[in-house]
Amino acid sequence: MRAPAPLQATPPSDTLRNAVVLAPMTPEQLDAVMAIEQTAYSHPWSRGNFRDSLNPLFEAQCLWFEDELLGYFLAMHGVEEMHLLNITVAPARQGQGWGHMMLDALALWSRSVGAQVLWLEVRQSNTRALQVYERYGFARVGLRKDYYPADRQQREHAVVMSLNLKLT
């Protein structure tokens, strides 16, 4: 497994930031989504996972710069809460603030539909993601033992995190 890139990378210019578009994920975009998913994770979601999430029960968004997919997120709305299921930035674009931008968009949308808390789970070994979420304001609230598949039929714990949307 390769080491994650440093968190501090050259941020994109204001021109580039103003040129990106966040738009609903469509079935036609699944090839591009899967290309990123398979390079970003040791245990990626399947095409079926994404296809099943393209319905009104989920919020599935893609972040685009022209024809380049920078990242995407999927979330599920519950009663006064939102659950972030997957947020991914293309490995070549990580460390540039795109994840933070998508979290901003998700938090704004979550508030607009009445969510008061945003939940997520992250692999305990994913220290880079844990740092990103903690810097954003998420708090560690629990541990789900043996939640994720790992190598050689092993399992890995998930850190449960929450963001109080009433305070941010």
Condensed to tens digits (0 to 9), the pLDDT of residues 48-89 reads 999 999 999 899 999 999 999 999 999 999 999 999 999 999
Choice among 133, 136, 147, 156 that is catalytic:
133
Upper half-sphere CA count for residue 146 (Cβ side, 13 Å): 2
Task: Please report the pLDDT score of residue 5 as a whole number.
Answer: 37
Task: Please report the pLDDT score of residue 85 as a whole number.
Answer: 96
The SS3 call for residue 147 is: strand
Choice among 72, 121, 148, 156 that is catalytic:
121
Residue 136: active-site member: no
Show the low-confidence residues of the chain (pLDDT under 50).
1-8
Residue 134: active-site member: no
Amino acid at 98: W
Helical spans, DSSP H, in the chain: 14-19, 30-40, 47-52, 98-112, 127-136
How many whole angstroms separate alpha carbon 112 and alpha carbon 162?
18
Single pTM value for the model: 0.85
Structural domains in the chain, CATH included, are: 14-164 (3.40.630.30)
